[in-house]
Amino acid sequence: MLIINLYMLTLTEFIGHFHPVLVHLPIGILLLAGLLYWLSRWEKYKPVRPALRLALAAGMISAVLSCISGYILAGTGEYEAGLVSRHQWLGIATAVVAMIAYYFEIRKHRFIQWAIAIMTVLLILTGHFGGTLTHGEGYLTSAFSAGERGTAAIQRQPIANVQEAVLYTSIIQPLLQEKCSSCHGSTKQKGKLRLDTPEFILLGGKNGKVLVPGKADESNLVKRVSLPPANEGHMPPKEKPQLTSNEIELLRWWISSGASFDKKVKELNQPVKIKPVLLALQQGAAMETPALTFIPNTPVETADTAIIQQLKKRGVAIVPIAQNSNYLSANFIAVDSITAKDMQLLTALNKQLIWLKLGNTRCNDLLLATIDQFTALTKLSLERSRITDYSLVGISKLPQLQYLNLSATAVTAKGLASLSGLKQLRYLYLYQNQVNGEAYAALKQKLPGTNIDTGGYAVPVLKSDTTLVKPEK
């Protein structure tokens, strides 16, 4: 039985990946068949008529395959039953009418025009309900009302008095509706999880509860949205609109405060870092952190080619950041041993150099003594290098720095506090560093606008995962 269950699970996952292709294929082919038929009724387009039979045959077969894959996916229970039923029967009707149209075409029957017309209407209806299942209610109109999905910040209506607002109904519920309902709403419930009402939120999904009131860090809801986008466990999926850092902080604060569904904002303890976020809500500001602009908008003169050639001979990879741009990126990963002369040559490019990668090298505090001269830097990678807190003094003088990787270095929480003056810093990576507990909390207060990533992710093994089951001893 275990083998059969694993087989069905794997089959369902496989079909889940390819079902969208199987759905779009018959829609495209059958719509093409309809176009060929109506064109062939004009004298000058009669030569396209022979292609109609082939298009109908291909569309008919792909429609049947789409019905089969859809039937298998419907059994997962992740979709609203009534909507699934409508979509399912419309899909079957489309496949049947496609067969009838193919038969009429072979027989040259005059009723083919009615079959083509009915098939087109069914395609539109089936596609609409299928899109609603996949993307949620209002997926068609949302693109016109909110700009491109997932790319533009939502301009929120201001909350007249945020302190008097009920935290869940005025702030958290709209957030979940915007970012989570397409997969966990009334029409679709991936993992049998719904996040559209308090009752369903508390109920959780097939893998258990998603929040622990009062304990944000133990709540899967916070864990999943806080994972890096590249991680398979990250939610929402990377192709969906993502939660901003401010929205994650609001979600974390709500759960840490007890996950109440009826308390007002003024009734809850408000940490220092949450107050500006609440103020932004009252002003109707978009809940986005400032956009990353790793490439400056202002032009810069061409760098000294002689200096670039000398560095390239040393093994330094120096390339333009973008086509027709004079801004440069330098990577020392292939250099056996960085010298003071290398850094001196690099200083001559300080106006053009905006990305510098010294990670996984023997770079130390002495070699990095002139780092404060690279005032145009927006990205600096020093992971697994030999720097200490001493280098952070110079780094703290880089006004444009937005990305800093200090993973697996000897820096301490005390030294990192000097970075509080970097107003543009958005990403700080501290894997395998001695920054945790109280030190991490203090650092978050000093860098409220920075996403501090300390690694150490632990994604739980889900029951739906394929695992090796061994008999008990």
What pLDDT is recorded for position 126? 80
Residues 310 and 436 in one domain: yes
Q: Which residue has the higher pLDDT, 50 or 319?
A: 319
| Tens-digit pLDDT profile for residues 115-124 | 888 988 888 8
Q: Is residue 297 part of a domain?
A: no
Residues 166 and 239 reside in one and the same domain: yes
* Most confident segment among 201-205, 247-251, 378-382, 425-429: 378-382
Mean pLDDT confidence for 458-472? 60
Residues 269 and 317 in one domain: no
In a domain, 145, yes or no: no
Q: What does the pLDDT average to over 350-358? A: 94
Could you read off the pLDDT of 147-190 as tens digits, one per residue? 434 433 445 567 878 889 999 999 999 989 888 877 787 766 77
- What gap in Å lies between CA 84 and CA 70, rounded to an integer? 9
User: What mean pLDDT do residues 225-251 have?
Assistant: 79
Residues 309 and 445 reside in one and the same domain: yes
Question: Which whole number is the average pLDDT over 324-353?
Answer: 91
pTM above threshold 0.75:
no
Task: Please tell me the predicted confidence (pLDDT) of residue 134.
Answer: 60
| pLDDT digit string, tens, across residues 390-409 | 999 999 999 999 999 999 99
In a domain, 329, yes or no: yes
369 and 271 assigned to the same domain: no
Residue 473 included in any domain: no
Pairing relationship of beta strands 379-381 and 317-320 according to DSSP bridges = unpaired
CATH number for the domain that contains residue 432 = 3.80.10.10
pLDDT of res. 206: 80
pLDDT(328) > 90: yes
Which pLDDT score is estimated for 473? 66
State mean pLDDT over 36-61: 84
Count of domains in the chain? 3
**Residue 325: what pLDDT?**
84
The pLDDT value recorded for residue 148 is 39
Q: Choose between 427 and 284: higher pLDDT.
A: 427
**266 and 179 housed in the same domain:** yes
Which range scores top for mean pLDDT: 155-164, 271-280, 409-418? 409-418
Q: Examine the pLDDT at 12 and tell me if it is beyond 50.
A: no
The answer to whether residue 175 is domain-embedded is yes
Per-residue confidence band for 5, with pLDDT thresholds at 50, 70 and 90:
very low
**Over residues 373-382, mean pLDDT:** 94
Q: Residue 14's pLDDT is what?
A: 41
Whether residues 25 and 104 share a domain: the answer is yes
Q: What pLDDT sits at residue 456?
A: 61
Residue 27 has pLDDT above 60, yes or no: yes
pLDDT for 60 equals 83
Question: Are residues 210 and 176 located together in one domain of the fold?
Answer: yes
Average pLDDT of the residues in 270-275:
83
Rounded CA-CA distance 187/85 in Å is 12
Query: pLDDT (tens digit, 9 = 90+) per residue, 66-88?
Result: 888 777 666 555 555 666 777 77
* CATH code (residue 59): 1.20.120
Instruction: Give the per-residue pLDDT at 461.
Output: 58
Residues 233 and 98 in one domain: no
Residue 299 in any domain: the answer is no
Percent of the chain beyond pLDDT 70?
A: 78
Which residue range forms the structural domain that includes residue 221?
Answer: 162-283
Higher pLDDT, 280 or 19: 280
If asked whether residues 275 and 374 sit together in one domain, one would say no
For residue 289, being part of any structural domain is answered with: no
Asked, for residue 117, whether it belongs to a domain, the answer is: yes
Residues 381, 350 share a domain = yes
Same domain, yes or no: 127 and 183: no
| Lowest mean pLDDT across 214-223, 392-401, 461-470 | 461-470
Are the beta carbons of 62 and 25 closer than 8 angstroms? yes
**pLDDT mean across residues, the chain:** 80
